[in-house]
Each structure stands twice: as structure tokens, then as C-alpha cells.
Amino acid sequence: MDKNQNATIYTGDIAEERIDPTREYTAENQEIIFSAEQHAIWADLFAGIHRPYLLEHLSHEFIHGLAYLQLDPLHIPTVAYLNEHIQPRTGWRIERTAVRYTLADDWYGKFAQRIFLITDYLRTRDQMEFTPEPDMFHDIFGHLPYLTQDFYARIEDKFAPAYLKATQEEREVIKRLAWYSTEFGLVMEDNRFKVFGAGTISGRAELANTIMEFYRLSRDKVFDYNGDVFEQLQDHFLTHKEDINRIVAGVNELHRQGQMSSQDKGWNVVHALYKNLGIPHEGYLGGEVILAPFDIETIAKIPKTVYAFNPMFFVCESFEQMDALLDSYLKPIVLRN
């Protein structure tokens, strides 16, 4: 069964790829000669996101990191170039993998060595707005600007030691914590929501829809941006906690049924879920996505959304708070004998 067929059945993780293990991490696949069309796709993806009306909603730290990394907007960078700009700054290094979607155990094993993997796969033109697989544009443009900075290296340093000591149940939570922080997390900066996660940053459709929710909350007078926005978010989250728990349970059921298997369905099936649950689609719950404070209990319940848009994004009040919340779950596992 190929990946597209599998995508319509199960959406929690991308299907395992059958590949010759001798091709993994080998010296000959570290540097690749890309075609003119691949460089052109990179250039169009870069230009599509590198626009003032989108960049203003991205974390300041991403903008700083992008300046440090100095990516060529027209050409895919080499692994050597990336290592020259990252390793001296944070000690992390980059390695290319031949696997399209590396299994979590392999991923965290490399993380433990302070190696960040980038795939050799680049999305095609029919996936410019959304790709279910983390391609090299996602890996490089989304993650690596952050990896030039110590705060992000410290965050990434937290996951592998815990994952390698964790039970299988705890590993599922750790994967979700990583998903809803470094992949699709939001953070408050200057009393405004800012996009932090690499998955959102590198996916033009999801980025645009997320930004539209920032505006909707103001337009519909759900939030007053002249007041403390994070405090308002917490108040709405607590007020609607019972409905949010019902929605999370419903999202899990949709995953089991394979109904969140494409970008076309994603958020639309959540609209139907509201109707089926008798939850009014208005006010705080009236958008295409739910914004919620970074709550480990809730994150532990909601599945990773791979083949569809995410129905919920979690917001940290600051990077210091993200540090503390991740430590509250991960550190006791690391310290376990």
C-alpha cells in the first residue's frame, strides 16, 4: 500500500518507509546535486513566505535566526554550508537522511548526539501550499534558523534524554509535546500571538489560516488586543474547557476513522464535529482553529495531525515559560534511575 492510500486510513503518523538501511546517513548522500526545477521550487517556497505581511507574525527569534543563517533565497543550501553556520554557534550539526520521514526512535537517537536530520526529499509543485511530509524546505527553512540560537538548542536538548528513558506511553506524550511546541507552537511577543513552530512557518496554507485566526479573534471582539491577550486566552480556555475536552475526544475519533487525512478535510471536519457535539461555532470556538494555552494535560490527549491541518495550536506566554513547562514533564523522566 502506498503512502497516499495509507493517508486515508490512519493519520497519527506517516507510514513507515521501506528503505535499504545502507543508504541511511551515508557520506555519498550528504551532498546532492539538485536540478534547476528543484532550486526553482525552493525559490518559490522561500519567496511565498518571505513576505512582510507574513513575516510580521513570525517569532522575533525566527527572524533573527534567518538573518544569522543567511539562506540563499534562490538555491538549496549544502549540508556543509549549514554546518558552517550552525555548529560554531550552538554545537549542533546537520546530517542528511535518505528516509522521507525518519522514525521517532532514530530521530531521538540522533538528537542525543546533537545531530539534526534533514531529509533529501523536496515537495513537488502540487504541494506548494501544504505537504504532509516534512521535506527539506520544512527542515531547513522552518527549523534551522532557530538552531543558530542557544535558547532553541536548549529546547531541543531536552527531548532526547527523556525520550530514550521514557516508557512507550510517555514517548507518545513526548512526541506530542515536541509537535505542539517546536513544530506547531505559538508564543506571545509584545502582547501578540507569534508563530514559533517550524511546521506552521514552512507551510504557507497553514500559516495563512493561523494568522487569519489572530485577526478573527479581534474582529469578532473575542479578544481585546489593548488588554493582556494571554490572560484573556487563559480565561476563555478555562471557560470552555469542557467543550474543548469533548472536541479533543472527537478529533481522536476522527483520526481513528481516517477522516482527518487531507488538507481539504482537516479543519472542515472539525466544523462538522462541532455540529455533531452540539457546540456553537462562535466566539472563542468560532474560528478555523482553536488557540489554547500550552497545557500538557490537553496536549497529551490530542493526536499529532500529520495528513491534515492542525485543529488546535498551543501558546506559551514566553520562551521561559515553554522551558519551564517542558521541564516539568521531561526532567523527572531524565532524572529517573
Helix (H) or strand (E) holding 312, with range, is strand 312-316
In three-state secondary structure terms, 217 is helix
* Those residues with Cβ within 8 angstroms of residue 131's Cβ, 6 or more apart along the chain or in another chain: 123, 138, 203
Q: C-alpha distances in angstroms, 281 versus 198, 247, 250, 276?
A: 28, 12, 15, 11
The pLDDT score that the predictor gives to residue 105 is 78
User: Which of the pair, 174 or 30, is modelled with greater confidence?
Assistant: 174
Mean pLDDT for all residues in the chain: 89
Q: pLDDT band for 10, please (50, 70, 90 cuts).
A: very low
Q: Within the chain, which residue ranges are assigned CATH 1.10.800.10? A: 3-169
Which set of grid coordinates corresponds to residue 117? Answer: 536530520
Nearest CA to 261 out of 3, 6, 8 is that of 8
Say if residue 302's pLDDT is above 70.
yes
Q: What is the pLDDT of residues 129-170, one digit of tens each?
A: 888 778 999 999 999 999 999 999 999 999 999 999 999 999
The pLDDT score that the predictor gives to residue 4 is 40
Phi and psi at residue 295, in whole multiples of 5°? -120, 110
Nearest CA to 148 out of 78, 80, 62 is that of 62
CATH number for 3-169: choose from 1.10.800.10, 3.40.5.50, 3.40.1130.10, 3.10.580.10: 1.10.800.10
In three-state secondary structure terms, 228 is coil
